[in-house]
Structure 1
Amino acid sequence: MPLIAPGDRPLAGLSTDLYFPPVAELIAHLEESPPDYLEIFRGRTIDLKELRAQLPPALPLTYHGDCLWYTQPGYSTDPEFREEERRACRHMEALRAPWMIHECAQKSMEGFDFGLYAPPLLTPEGAQVAREGALTLLQAMEGRLLLVETPPFPPHPPGGMDLGDFFRILTQGTPLAIGLDLGHCLTYLSASDRPVDIPSVLDWLGGFPLERVVEIHAGGMHFLSLDGRTWPVDDHSFPLPIVLFDLLEAVLTRLHLPSLQGIALEVDNKESRHAAQEFARFRDIVRHHAKPGGFSLPPATPFRSPLPSADRDRVREGYRHLARDLSGNHHSPYSQHLYRQEIWEFGGNMDELFPETLARLREAGVDVRASFVDYFNREPHENRPGEDFLEIKIRRAGDWIDHLTETHPEIPLSLRETRHREAQSLLHAQNLYNGDP
């Protein structure tokens, strides 16, 4: 069931985490400017059911999925992704969500892992692989709509193919819809060495498949100075910058978006009172400038033939090359600065996760941060769909300690037991709060 009828004005919504800010607290701060709908990030099924029961039945809820890496060549044949699809369907059923939006990106690829979204492989073959994976996911969604979202780009060369052309190959002739994230567009243009201003974004969007955009996102950003340049970095805990408020107004005023149904402010990881203050201005822009939408997507045509195996192998190798570049093989502001911080801190700071283990390693003269970050993606390792980054870090920490005790005789084998004890405590807490059988 769509959010709006054809010809109605799109709704102004909030996209938020299930746990922070707490949804009940967020709603309490929004009494003077309530949202038309909520988009809820992936969480535990039991918690999603409880949330739906607590909210007014007339308030629509949509779903923001995760861990379904349909950009990857092995997505359609990996049975572990089938379980993740079933989990996503349980989540959508709990929320009574008409659609799922999911980044066209991945945090795991060809034996490498990252804490934040890594961009897709911007080649025609990469777009075709993502298309096949997204259609596999759509078939599992029990008649709901799938929105493939424009991904964030780190300060790193994005690849040779234009993102608009990539999304056209990905979606043309399919039932797939698009989620257009305006902040992510800024990160893409910046990574592509293009101007990051409203005229440049509007000009670039002129070649984008806007007829498939069903939802628009805007979220917090900060601007980081690295290697003599200022880079926009997607981070929803930061305020929504003025340029995104102005860009939203310009997009709604000047562009033709016939299928648009919802426009959501992303406020995950933001204090409720700050989110409420931003949403009041955001909602005013939507209500004053959004034009009628909700019309049907372009008709689907028969699916093109599957990608030849040789092309699929090239995509696999392309993702391996991309992962190594992001992990430090390429000298970019991301790989030389942000990647190292991401591996050490995201999902849980290593000093807080393994305090006793790291203290003993430091006593043995190990530069623990440099050693762990360099080891983390040094060689391909097992990717496990559904694991969050904390679980991946715990597993990689075990591999790292095993490696150190095998290659450094001065490091005692008893350190493995210390690491195991700390890991078990972390995994118990993780399962208690985030487990979802």
Structure 2
Amino acid sequence: MVASKYAKRDLMQSEFTERAIGLATHGVGLSVDVYSPDLLHLVHSLRDAGLQPGYLEVFKATTSAMQWVRRHLPDMKLPYHGEGLWVTQPDFPRSSSGTQGVAEACAQILALGSAWLNHECAMKQMVGYSFGTYLPPLYTELSARMTAENLAFLQEQVDEQARRHGTDPALVLLEMPPLTYFGCGSLAIPAFFRAVTDRVACGLVLDIGHLWTVYRYTGAWLRQTLEAFAAEFLDAFPMERVIEIHVAGLAEFTAQGGAQYMVDAEALPYWIDAHGAPIPEVLFDLLAQVLAHPRLTCLKGVALEVDTKPVATIVTEFRRFCDRFESMVTSVVQAGAAQSLTRPAVEQRTGTRQPLTMDEQASLRNQYQGYVRFVTTGQALPPSEHPSLLGGSLDNLDRYRKTYLPHELLHWGGELKDMFPRTCSLLIAAHLPLERFVSFWFSRPRTDEQDYDFFLLKIDRFVEFVAHDCPSAAVTVMEEAEEMRMAYRTANEPTESAEVRA
């Protein structure tokens, strides 16, 4: 049994190495959104400042938008940052995420000519419940096995598309997600990713800001310095699988009317992942430590994640980043490439996948149902369904439940009062507070029949809520909803202008 385990691990590493060797060096670049800020305006601003990113990792948009980007940036390396591919979930291959979502991702990879497909090891939908921002997976052995199995399925779909079109297949990368105040599970995060990479030949993305949130919200900051924590974490993490590194902003979240908490003057700030915020200097110091790790042997690129950030700030941060790290990144990439020339030839592969049984999938599904209840309601759960926190404190989880999550549904990704002004006026007249929408949202699971889009999902759920709780406003809310959908569809088609509306 032990010999078989290590044989499979070595086989997965060999297959990964073969794929990684074929990837071009990308260097230093940016991870961008097509819309915010305007992509071509950003590129022109960088060039005017004498800056040329080695690549732009493009976040999911529409396939026509990706075709538009490729036409306007014909010589740029354009890897792909996917969204809506919930590889942590038991039903992924049969869900809309695993069918419609994967097909759309494959089409966008083809349009861009991407060398890799990066996706967070996190989800915004699970067991019929939806969220506006990422939740980390359950960090357990069973969850790691499920994730590896789904990643193998995803890579197969990407490979099949490449065969049909005669192109080089993109390598699937799994990104370590942030902790937004908490994480749950029984495995340390490095052990989880080691369990995944022992079973599948994927690459990894290590996000420096996400690493800081692990330090903050597992309580490690109470026991160790950041440097000592990072050294221990990186030694346990599968650094030899890291293809890309991300660096992005961090910021404290504030919401009017949110719950108030005692502030410990000695505590670290309550930073969470925030791409539009400035990058703290501590993250660049942490990046230097990561780049010096001896097992970082397959690195192909390092990118600042800059979606939603002002262009002037991006230009300033990218210049500072290049001045400090461009030569260092080049040295790390070149050293890894030199090592690859001495690696042994890859052996012939045979089928080694051991899928989860139906009982194991059902058990994991039940665990995710308990996870949803735990993080959204705080209800007492049976011991068998109660997830354990990865360190940290229940106070931090309460920040998520009582402040962050309600704001996400009521304000983030579309202010309900702005989206539905006439309907909200009717709700006020009926003495129906908008806050009831939060409990309605999580009142029952719903089938995920469409590719994930939080804005459209929010429209549909609000229509359902109003029809249920205030039937007299049903006609009004449906009219406003259709106006919003039409405007959204129009905004999501590319235009042949300097400003992208794709």
- 286-295 or 342-351, which moves further after superposition? 286-295
Aligned letter for 2:378?
N
- 6-15 or 202-211, which moves further after superposition? 6-15
Aligned letter for 2:426?
R
1:122/1:161 contact within 8 Å kept: yes
1: CA distance, partners of 2:86 / 2:241: 21
Give 2:172's aligned residue: 146
Give 2:58's aligned residue: 40
Give 2:388's aligned residue: none
Q: Does 1:429 align with 2:487?
A: yes
Cα offsets for 1:128-150 (capped at 9, x unmatched): 11111111111111222000110
2: CA distance, partners of 1:371 / 1:93: 43
2:65/2:493 contact within 8 Å kept: no
1:29/1:272 contact within 8 Å kept: yes
1:177/1:213 contact within 8 Å kept: yes
Q: Does 1:257 align with 2:284?
A: no
Aligned letter for 2:66?
L
Q: CA deviation at 1:224?
A: 5.0
**Partner secondary structure for residue 402 of structure 1:** helix
Aligned letter for 1:29?
S
Q: CA deviation at 1:255?
A: 4.2
Q: Does 1:15 align with 2:31?
A: yes
Aligned letter for 1:40?
V
**Partner secondary structure for residue 141 of structure 1:** helix
Q: CA deviation at 1:337?
A: 1.3
1:402 aligned to which of 451, 454, 467? 467
Q: Does 1:215 align with 2:244?
A: yes
Q: CA deviation at 1:78?
A: 2.6
**Partner secondary structure for residue 40 of structure 2:** helix
- 281-290 or 68-77, which moves further after superposition? 281-290
1:112 aligned to which of 129, 134, 137? 129
2: CA distance, partners of 1:122 / 1:151: 11
1:145/1:176 contact within 8 Å kept: yes
Q: Does 1:50 align with 2:72?
A: no
2: CA distance, partners of 1:259 / 1:336: 42
Aligned residues: 427
Q: CA deviation at 1:321?
A: 1.4
2: CA distance, partners of 1:10 / 1:312: 38
Q: CA deviation at 1:414?
A: 3.1
1: CA distance, partners of 2:100 / 2:22: 35
Relative distance call for 1:309 and 1:38 in structure 2 (3 A) is: same
Relative distance call for 1:279 and 1:80 in structure 2 (3 A) is: closer
Q: CA deviation at 1:275?
A: 0.5
Give 1:288's aligned residue: 327
Q: CA deviation at 1:116?
A: 0.2
Counterparts of 1:40-79 in structure 2 under 5 Å? 40-57=58-75, 59-78=76-95
Q: CA deviation at 1:231?
A: 2.0
Q: Does 1:318 align with 2:367?
A: yes
Q: CA deviation at 1:256?
A: 2.7
Relative distance call for 1:82 and 1:241 in structure 2 (3 A) is: same
Query: Structure 1-normalised TM-score?
Result: 0.91
1: CA distance, partners of 2:262 / 2:287: 29
Give 1:409's aligned residue: none
1: CA distance, partners of 2:360 / 2:80: 33
Give 1:201's aligned residue: 230
1:249/1:285 contact within 8 Å kept: no
Q: Does 1:127 align with 2:192?
A: no
List structure 1 segments (4+ residues) > 4 angstroms apart after TM superposition: 2-10, 224-227, 294-302
**Partner secondary structure for residue 304 of structure 2:** strand
**Partner secondary structure for residue 377 of structure 2:** helix
Give 2:218's aligned residue: 192
Q: CA deviation at 1:385?
A: 4.5
Cα offsets for 1:171-195 (capped at 9, x unmatched): 2242211011111111123221111
Structure 2 gap ranges (5+): 1-17, 160-168, 255-260, 380-393, 495-502
1:67/1:385 contact within 8 Å kept: no
Give 1:365's aligned residue: 431
Cα offsets for 1:286-329 (capped at 9, x unmatched): 32323133466996774331112222112111111111222232
Give 1:162's aligned residue: 188
2: CA distance, partners of 1:29 / 1:288: 23
Counterparts of 1:168-183 in structure 2 under 5 Å? 168-183=194-209
Q: Does 1:327 align with 2:385?
A: no
Cα offsets for 1:6-29 (capped at 9, x unmatched): 899760010000111111111122
Q: CA deviation at 1:110?
A: 0.4
1: CA distance, partners of 2:44 / 2:272: 29
Cα offsets for 1:389-422 (capped at 9, x unmatched): 11111111122112213xxxxxxx3310011001
Query: Structure 2-normalised TM-score?
Result: 0.80
Counterparts of 1:368-407 in structure 2 under 5 Å? 368=434, 370-405=435-470
- 301-310 or 199-208, which moves further after superposition? 301-310
1:174/1:303 contact within 8 Å kept: no
Q: Does 1:338 align with 2:377?
A: no
1: CA distance, partners of 2:22 / 2:105: 27
Q: Does 1:278 align with 2:317?
A: yes
Q: CA deviation at 1:56?
A: 4.3
2: CA distance, partners of 1:6 / 1:35: 21
1:21/1:271 contact within 8 Å kept: yes
Give 2:165's aligned residue: none
Aligned letter for 1:357?
T
Relative distance call for 1:124 and 1:243 in structure 2 (3 A) is: same
1: CA distance, partners of 2:438 / 2:321: 39
1:217/1:264 contact within 8 Å kept: yes
Relative distance call for 1:174 and 1:80 in structure 2 (3 A) is: closer
